[in-house]
Structure 1
Amino acid sequence: MSTIVFETSMGHITIELDHEKAPIGAANFLQYAQDGFFNGTIFHRIIPGFMVQGGGMLPGMEPKPTGDPIENEADNGLKNVRGSLSYARTMDPNSATTQFFMNLVDNDFLDHRSKDMQGWGYAVFGRITDGLDVIDRMAQVDTTSRRGHQDVPVEDIVIENTRIENAEDS
């Protein structure tokens, strides 16, 4: 397991990556974290009672350039439960790069059911081990629409620093 700490403008969030069940997703996330990619990005989509999304936008809703998409590992047995981290993606199941979301509640409708457009699901690759209170506070901020995006916090919530506490070789 690798442990990553996001130092955000609202508090620290400690994440444990699951290299065993999500080797592709965990390695991808760890590499971006080691490269400092997440520093300066914002949590750009917050829906109370659902999830908090970040990892790809800079203040002003400017997309940050990413590497190539990764294979969807949503069939790894991990579930979209409260505190889990999953990859955000487009309609293409294999389009995830850096954007992730943290589940505020159990969201079983996002879990893998079948390898077709309706059932692919969203790949869980880690979980929050400390900082659920931080994402709960994030879920209480006012949101607006900005640059074609909905549910954007009125005031930026920034990942100020990313710290790797231990890194598993994958």
Structure 2
Amino acid sequence: MLRIFNALILLCLSQTAFAIDIQPNTLYPQVQLDTSMGKIVVELDRTRAPLTVDNFLTYVVKGHYDNTLFHRVIAEFVVQGGGLDLKQEERPVAAPIVNESGNGLSNTFGTIAMARDQNPHSATSQFYFNVGENVRLDPSSRRWGYAVFGEIIKGADVIQAMSNVATEQNLKLQWPDFPIKDIILEKATLLPRK
């Protein structure tokens, strides 16, 4: 049953891929993130996480990530964003995707992965960068992990600097680890094929 469900999702995403051009035939697409603290380029791995990569690229191409906040920063752990606009309001998202955490990629420093809640198949638009060796976020025989789908190829120093900013409890959202000074993802761009 899960195999049929995955096939249907893949079919829907592949049709979307052609409709909005997320480079469906590129195995390792690259995305540039222009942030208020500098540029980051990530290379995504469609061979290991095809559903997750297509999901992320769909949000990129539609402009979902433009002018959003990195809202969760924990030194030596993660820098998370992709969900809040500059007014600290959640942006609308598409349906959650299937968790691809068992793909052989690990939550090590400099990788990008999907954020989710307790439900393993609840990831939508939010993502995080690992700024530590977070292998405890990988799957095990008893639990789902968090799906890694690429890595930073330029700008690791930018992520490291982000991870060290001062944070506080956000009173509006009641979220901890919120940067005191906004860190903005100004623009996310799918780079041309090489």
**Could you tell me the TM-score, scaled by structure 2's length?**
0.82
Which of residues 178, 184, 187 in structure 2 aligns to 1:152? Answer: 178
Higher alpha-carbon Rg: 2
The question of whether the paired residues in 2 share the 8 Å contact of 1:41 and 1:58 is answered with yes
Which of residues 117, 126, 130 in structure 2 aligns to 1:99? Answer: 126
Deviation at 1:166, TM superposition (A): 3.0
Q: Which residue of 2 aligns with 1:161?
A: 187
Q: Are 2:37 and 1:10 equivalent residues in the alignment?
A: yes
Q: Which residue of 2 aligns with 1:65?
A: 92
Residue identity matched to 2:178: V
Say if 1:42 and 1:167 are closer, same or farther in 2 by CA, change over 3 A. farther
Residue identity matched to 1:128: I
- Written as runs of structure 1 = structure 2, the 5 A alignment for 1:17-166 is 17-114=44-141, 116=142, 119-146=143-170, 147-166=173-192
Q: How many residues align?
A: 165
Distance 2:137 2:98 in 1: 17
Per the alignment, in what secondary structure is the counterpart of residue 79 of structure 1?
coil
Higher normalized contact order (CA 8 Å, seq sep 6+, divided by chain length): 1
Distance 1:86 1:167 in 2: 22
User: 4+ residue runs of structure 1 moved beyond 2 angstroms?
Assistant: none
The question of whether the paired residues in 2 share the 8 Å contact of 1:30 and 1:167 is answered with no
Gaps of 5+ in 1: none
Which structure has greater helix proportion?
2
Per the alignment, in what secondary structure is the counterpart of residue 191 of structure 2?
strand
Say if 1:158 and 1:108 are closer, same or farther in 2 by CA, change over 3 A. same
Deviations 1:35-77 (A, max 9, x none): 1110011100000010100000112421111000000000011
Deviation at 1:163, TM superposition (A): 1.6
Distance 1:2 1:31 in 2: 12
Distance 2:193 2:145 in 1: 27
Distance 2:41 2:124 in 1: 20
Deviation at 1:167, TM superposition (A): 5.6
